[in-house]
Amino acid sequence: MKRYLIRRLLQALFVLWAAYTVCFTVLYLLPSDPVSLMVSGGAEQTSIDDAQLTALRAQYGLDKPIIVQYVDHLWHALRGDFGVSVQTGRSITQIFLDVLPATLQLAASAFTLALFLGLGLAYWATYARRLWVRQMLLSLPPLWASLPTFWVGLMLIQIVSFRWGLVPATGDDGVSSLLLPAVTLALPTAAGIAQVFAKSLRTVETEHYITTAAAKGASPTRVRLRHAARNAAIPALTLAGVWAGNLLAGSVVVETVFSRTGVGRTTATAVGTQDIPVVLGLVILSSVLFTAVNLAVDLTYPLLDPRIVSPAADPR
């Protein structure tokens, strides 16, 4: 177990380093100048003093060679210092802490809903008595996955908010304003979980230990939940871990459509204004959350199947 944990931790550190390096490279290859955008205030034509630009570039370290900037940013990031915003002068850590609670609330709600919908739909579709019910339920995940997130959000606003008047269309005030964004963000995740879990259940149902458990007198419900669902959950759990991190990426669209404050919308704004320190800091901090979720998923595997940690224990 100790070697398994160390290996997963090293992989997590590599993912964080790779995310930082790729993001830094892409941002610093952009043709525009964040300092010029800051001074001009977004205007297409404005009179900018060259001395002022030079001083500001030196202040933010943008006058140094790229490799020096890379090492400097990486060193400060390792110490928890992500710098300040070029546009506002605020601490990036403080910006992140201000918008993180709203995004975590949205992501956690969407993830919980996605798990409930995905696992429940797959289980019901697999064990439904009537063929037409199974076929109808199994057709829902591909439909959910094919719908664009922004279109789902706009349709929910149009029908549920404007036509029925049940919940607010925009904003982030209370549970009622969280419902539509959570549903919008959860549907594609639930679709993937349902497809993988349903396929795993059908595969597991043909295993010998399922037949043995039933032959020993275990009830169908016990066989399905304790034996089939437990073993079939590993592929779905893997996908759920990946999608949990992708919910942060999906929050960019959802927070924009529903006018919610959050990491996604803040990142989109920073990209539009070429605020490189903010984008870099938010990407790294989001990568930490993504890596932490997937590390937690990796550490859950041995609880479902001890053979993952000790392959020699596999009786086969």
Q: How confident is the model at residue 133 (pLDDT cuts 50, 70, 90)?
A: confident
pLDDT digits (tens, 9 = 90+) for 28-82: 777 666 666 666 655 544 556 677 777 777 777 777 888 888 888 888 888 878 8
CA distance 181 to 245: 17
Phi, psi of 19, rounded to the nearest 5 degrees? -60, -40
User: What value does the mean pLDDT take over residues 129-154?
Assistant: 88
The reported pTM is 0.74
pLDDT digits (tens, 9 = 90+) for 2-33: 777 788 788 888 888 888 888 888 877 776 66
pLDDT digits (tens, 9 = 90+) for 249-283: 678 788 888 988 888 888 888 877 778 788 888 87
User: What value does the mean pLDDT take over residues 214-230?
Assistant: 75
Q: How confident is the model at residue 154 (pLDDT cuts 50, 70, 90)?
A: very high
Structure tokens at 213: 């458990």
Please report the domains of the chain, with CATH numbers, ordered by start residue. 2-78 (no CATH), 93-313 (1.10.3720.10)
User: What value does the mean pLDDT take over residues 133-157?
Assistant: 89
8-state DSSP, 313: G
User: What value does the mean pLDDT take over residues 209-224?
Assistant: 76
User: What value does the mean pLDDT take over residues 103-129?
Assistant: 88
Q: How confident is the model at residue 316 (pLDDT cuts 50, 70, 90)?
A: very low
